[in-house]
């Protein structure tokens, strides 16, 4: 990036480290899958941290676990509307669905009963399940957002039962290794920052423990580096490689619930936190464990994301820091629009493009790359994109028609006569009497 941009980014980082009294902090900016800038302040041991220094991710682990659950869904091994009891039978909260657990709307208690799990050695699944035998549900499933670390411990067990191996082995084989995240591990390996609590009234440090959380580990066990977390940030933005379909990641980023009511500045998708800030919608996750804070966010619209990790239990406004880094990068060096170039298209689809009418409302149907269609109103109305699903069929990707099927009606000679979209009939002229308009068309036609 430009030297002036890099200085502005570094100054924001340095200000946070100094004002919040952080032992060490690292940060980075990502755009279009590339690590554009990184910086560090403070010291981790005897030297300044760098892009290969490990910090604990905390709840960013949840996003990685959620990706594996979505892989199971895409493989047809589960449905997001399945009750937990179908996959992990016998619990006292088996009516909560997989989607509800992913979005923290399953009603489960926020923390595992007993000793504070983040500072205690964790037991196995049997111990966790036994601790939840009574009073595990705090809210009616689906009724509200209630953040639940327990819910992701449960999802770790669901993964283990489907894969026949521990959740961590599955994550390593199916996500971390394919994404090249070789420095993301359950415990620190090699160069890493130690976790500390900073005394609230003096410049003193207290080392924090980092035990293995056992069955609760899927809620916050992993450690990572700037380099690896930058790859995960790009992944959340849609650079999914062969690990996940981009449309599945888009589904994870969609709003499932709102955290703060009418304000709607924060919400949750499927394993992803969502932030609205000055017209942006950012997706990612925060993380907090004793001795560590972390955040990663990306704006899928611009492809710009940022991350930060610190080795302190509390103090820095790390979420605000990451949002500010994204804002600085995009305001000082806005992304240029993609250069337009002609693309390969199926010429047989050209007969479907152009002007269509839903009753008296005019729409334009355009071919877009990938054999997809964009259906948008000429003035105002509902717009959606559609992906190919079969001969003369496309399925909605977004907007009002997400998941709905667009079908082409044809005349005996094969020419297109109308479009049928969720029972709405689109014709070349408004209310074409030769098309199957629900309710029919008045015989006297249009009148003055």
Q: What is the dihedral of CA 4, 8, 10, 12, to 10 degrees?
A: 180
Beta-bridge partners for 151: none
What is the mean pLDDT, run by run of 10 residues, along the chain of 448 residues?
Answer: 97 98 98 96 95 98 98 98 97 96 97 91 95 94 96 98 97 98 98 98 97 96 98 98 95 93 90 95 97 98 96 96 98 91 91 96 94 94 93 93 96 95 96 95 92
CB 64 within 8 A of CB 58: no
What is the token pair recorded at 183?
């420095």
- Measured CA to CA, the distance from residue 221 to residue 63 in angstroms comes to 12
- Measured CA to CA, the distance from residue 295 to residue 273 in angstroms comes to 10
Q: What angle do CA 143, 249, 214 make, to 5 degrees?
A: 70
CA pseudo-torsion sign 16, 32, 231, 298: positive
What is the token pair recorded at 258?
């709102």
pLDDT at position 263 is: 84
What is the token pair recorded at 107?
């009603």
Taking each helix axis from N to C end, the angle separating 226-236 and 60-74, rounded to the nearest 10 degrees, works out to 50
Find where tokens 């969720």 sit.
422
- Measured CA to CA, the distance from residue 39 to residue 155 in angstroms comes to 35
Q: What is the dihedral of CA 138, 289, 293, 229, to 10 degrees?
A: -100
3-state class (DSSP) for residue 285: strand
- Measured CA to CA, the distance from residue 110 to residue 131 in angstroms comes to 13
What letter would DSSP give residue 145? -
- Measured CA to CA, the distance from residue 1 to residue 37 in angstroms comes to 7
CB 159 within 8 A of CB 169: no
Nearest to 401 by CA among 381, 416, 430, 418: 381
3-state class (DSSP) for residue 168: helix
Q: Where are the beta strands (DSSP E) in 279-404?
A: 280-289, 292-299, 304-310, 354-358, 361-368, 372-377, 384-390, 393-396
Beta-bridge partners for 137: 108
pLDDT at position 381 is: 86
SS3 of 227-261: the string is HHHHHHHHHHCCCCCCCCCHHHHHHHHCCCEECCH
Q: Which helix (H) or strand (E) holds 30?
A: strand 24-31
Q: Which long-range contacts (CB under 8 A, 24 or more apart) does 363-372 make?
A: 363/426, 365/419, 369/343, 371/345, 371/346, 372/397
What is the token pair recorded at 105?
């709307």
3-state class (DSSP) for residue 180: coil
- Measured CA to CA, the distance from residue 33 to residue 347 in angstroms comes to 33
């Amino acid at each position: 990036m430009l030297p002036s941009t890099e200085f502005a980014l570094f100054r924001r980082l340095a200000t946070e480290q100094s004002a919040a009294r952080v032992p060490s902090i690292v940060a980075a900016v990502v755009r279009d899958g590339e690590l554009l800038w990184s910086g560090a302040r403070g010291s981790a041991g005897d030297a300044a941290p760098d892009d290969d220094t490990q910090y604990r991710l905390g709840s960013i682990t949840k996003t990685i676990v959620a990706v594996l659950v979505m892989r199971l869904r895409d493989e047809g091994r589960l449905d997001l509307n399945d009750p937990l009891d179908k996959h992990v039978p016998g619990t006292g909260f088996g009516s909560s669905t997989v989607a509800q657990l992913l979005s923290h709307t399953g009603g489960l208690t926020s923390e595992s009963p007993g000793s504070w799990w983040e500072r205690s050695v964790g037991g196995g699944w049997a111990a966790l399940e036994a601790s939840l035998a009574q009073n595990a549900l705090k809210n009616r499933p689906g009724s509200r957002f209630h953040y639940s670390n327990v819910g992701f411990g449960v999802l770790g067990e669901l993964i283990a039962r489907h894969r026949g191996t521990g959740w961590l082995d599955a994550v390593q084989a199916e996500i971390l290794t394919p994404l090249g995240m070789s420095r993301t591990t359950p415990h620190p390996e090699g160069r890493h920052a130690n976790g500390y609590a900073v005394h609230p009234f003096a410049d003193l440090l207290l080392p924090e423990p980092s035990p293995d959380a056992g069955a609760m580990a899927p809620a916050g066990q992993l450690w990572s580096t700037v380099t690896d977390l930058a790859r995960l940030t790009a992944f959340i933005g849609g650079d999914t490689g062969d690990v996940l379909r981009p449309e599945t990641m888009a589904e994870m980023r969609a709003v499932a619930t709102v955290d703060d009511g009418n304000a709607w500045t924060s919400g949750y998708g499927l394993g992803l936190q969502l932030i609205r800030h000055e017209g942006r919608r950012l997706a990612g996750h925060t993380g907090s464990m004793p001795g560590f804070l972390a955040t990663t966010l990306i704006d899928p619209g611009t492809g710009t994301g940022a991350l930060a990790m610190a080795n302190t239990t509390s103090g820095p406004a790390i979420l605000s820091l990451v949002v500010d880094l994204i804002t600085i990068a995009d305001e000082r060096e806005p992304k240029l629009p993609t250069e337009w170039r002609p693309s390969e298209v199926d010429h047989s689809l050209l007969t479907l493009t152009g002007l269509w009418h839903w009753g008296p409302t005019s729409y334009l149907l355009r071919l877009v790359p990938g054999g997809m269609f964009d259906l948008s109103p000429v003035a105002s109305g509902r717009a959606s994109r559609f992906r190919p699903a079969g001969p003369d069929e496309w399925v909605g990707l977004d907007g009002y028609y997400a998941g709905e099927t667009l079908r082409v009606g044809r005349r005996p000679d094969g020419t297109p006569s109308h479009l049928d979209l969720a029972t709405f009939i689109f014709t070349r002229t408004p209310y074409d009497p030769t098309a199957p308009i629900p309710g029919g068309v008045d015989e006297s036609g249009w009148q003055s």
